[in-house]
């Protein structure tokens, strides 16, 4: 029997994503001036307030307030009426030095066999539903959010938009797990109170709210969604836009109060948005604010790298890879593969996992080196997903009152490269 599956995304102005972006902006600043920095930075935000917490080990000093305020302003929180803006919010720091007990397990004197920064399990996933090997539900949800943010920042249409928003896409799948059609698209976007009631009566307020909702719904369907579809190159994804899609726009009827004033934000609370939208698995560890000695982050990227290259090589139409580590130990304690019965090779999933161990060096230092994870590359990951993004080289400029301005070439989303496909094909006889 056919079934429905949904994935959600949130905008860069969602309070949890504000926290993620501050944490990763601070990590990038440390790495720009000290590539050996160790960071585990958490950010908390609420009405008019940001608190930065966590542990750092670095030789360099970073002006936390300046970076936090710039990040908040770049997102779009620039007006006092939002009751949270980069120029006026309070910024408190509770950063302290990384524990020597943790550091001892990582820096063990053997650089190549650097220990994992923590225990835990990490998952990577890929499928052939989209050109970037991501679940189509999540890929579309992210695209809706990125496009809505573009419209807001251009300031030419839908000029009432505020930074906080969410999307959700529901797709019908066939019995053999093939996407058939989009069933429902949900868009909730924060907005100005752009239609005022004629008087103080409840009836006038409800009428104004209904008129605002009607305008927002019309604009989502007639402005946002055509721009979303225009960016989709895949014919099989475009074919999912059949007649009868249900659009649920601002289902509560009004969304003026939002952002950190409407909900408290905290680093690491959107781990499913960050990864695969509920497909595959998740080990529970968040990414933002953590340097690559933390396998929560680096091994999650490595498993995505493996899974994507395996699907691209034709090993399976869908694949899940799990790694698990013990703190202070370099080699993973387990490597697991699940092809969901969609493998194209005459091997068991256990045998495929053995080949993965032979093909990929999964020690933390090797992952860092292969994926170039000591670059200041992380702010770009902190909104609209860490996976399925475009691998590219960009110039990034870092300024500091304590150091000279620094411009560096940074390679983003290195785990999305398809540079192991031929090796995998050879190993599997494809």
Binding site listing for K(+): 42
Binding residues for L-methionine: 55, 98, 263, 294
Show Cβ contacts of residue 74 under 8 Å, excluding neighbours closer than 6 positions: none
Tokens representing 71 are 């990040």
Binding residues: 14, 16, 42, 55, 98, 164-166, 254-255, 263, 269-270, 286, 290, 294
**Which strand (E) or helix (H) includes residue 57?**
strand 49-57
Binding residues for Mg(2+): 16
Planar angle of CA 161, 412, 189, nearest 5 degrees = 15
Tokens representing 308 are 């994507």
- Conformational region of residue 160, where left means phi above 0, alpha means psi within -120 to 50, and beta covers everything else: alpha
Sign of CA dihedral 374, 378, 380, 383: positive
d(CA 93, CA 91): 7
Bridge partners, 170 (sequence order): 6, 184
Q: What is the DSSP string of 372-391?
A: TTTSS--GGGSSS-SSS---
The backbone torsions φ and ψ at residue 141, rounded to the nearest 5 degrees and listed phi first, read -60, -45
Q: What is the DSSP string of 235-271?
A: HHHHTT--TT-EEEESTTS---S-HHHHS-EETTS-H
Is residue 39 classed exposed, middle or buried when 0-12, 13-18 and 19+ CB atoms within 10 A define those classes? buried
Is residue 394 classed exposed, middle or buried when 0-12, 13-18 and 19+ CB atoms within 10 A define those classes? exposed
Binding residues for ATP: 14, 164-166, 254-255, 263, 269-270, 286, 290
Sign of CA dihedral 196, 201, 204, 210: positive
Distances (CA, A) of 215 to 187, 191, 253: 13, 11, 11
């Amino acid at each position: 029997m056919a079934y429905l599956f949904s994935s959600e995304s949130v905008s860069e102005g969602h309070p949890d994503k504000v926290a993620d972006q501050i944490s990763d902006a601070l990590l990038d600043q440390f790495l720009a001036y000290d590539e050996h920095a160790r960071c585990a930075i958490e950010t908390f935000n609420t009405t008019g307030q940001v608190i930065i917490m966590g542990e750092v080990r670095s030789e360099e000093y970073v002006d936390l307030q300046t970076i936090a305020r710039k990040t908040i302003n770049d997102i779009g929180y620039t007006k006092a009426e939002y009751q949270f803006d980069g120029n006026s919010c309070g910024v408190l720091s509770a950063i302290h030095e990384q524990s020597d007990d943790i550091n001892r397990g990582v820096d063990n004197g053997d650089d190549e066999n650097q220990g994992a920064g923590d225990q835990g399990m990490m998952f990577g996933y890929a499928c052939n539903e989209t050109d970037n090997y991501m679940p189509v539900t999540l890929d579309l949800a992210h695209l809706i959010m990125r496009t809505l943010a573009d419209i807001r920042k251009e300031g030419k249409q839908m000029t009432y938009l505020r930074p906080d928003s969410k999307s959700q896409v529901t797709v019908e799948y066939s019995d053999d797990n093939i996407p058939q059609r989009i069933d429902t698209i949900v868009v909730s976007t924060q907005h100005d109170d752009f239609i005022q009631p004629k008087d103080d009566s409840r009836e006038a307020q409800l009428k104004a709210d209904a008129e605002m909702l009607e305008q927002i719904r019309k604009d989502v369907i007639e402005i946002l969604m055509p721009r979303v579809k225009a960016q989709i190159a895949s014919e099989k994804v475009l074919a999912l836009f059949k007649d009868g899609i249900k659009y649920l726009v601002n289902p509560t009827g009004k969304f003026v109060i939002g952002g950190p004033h409407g909900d408290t934000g905290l680093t690491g609370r959107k781990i499913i948005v960050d990864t695969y939208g509920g497909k595959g698995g998740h080990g529970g560890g968040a990414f933002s604010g953590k340097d690559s000695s933390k396998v929560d982050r680096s091994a999650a990227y490595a498993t995505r790298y493996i899974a994507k290259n395996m699907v691209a090589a034709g090993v399976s139409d869908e694949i899940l890879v799990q790694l698990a580590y013990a703190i202070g130990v370099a080699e993973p304690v387990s490597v697991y593969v699940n092809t969901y019965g969609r493998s194209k090779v005459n091997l068991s999933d256990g045998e495929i996992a053995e080949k993965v161990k032979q093909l990929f060096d999964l020690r933390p230092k090797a992952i860092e080196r292969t994926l170039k994870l000591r670059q200041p590359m992380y702010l770009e990951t902190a909104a609209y997903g860490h996976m399925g993004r475009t691998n590219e080289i960009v110039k990034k400029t870092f300024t500091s009152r304590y150091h000279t301005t620094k411009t560096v070439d940074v390679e983003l989303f290195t785990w999305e490269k398809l540079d192991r496909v031929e090796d995998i094909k050879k190993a599997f006889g494809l």
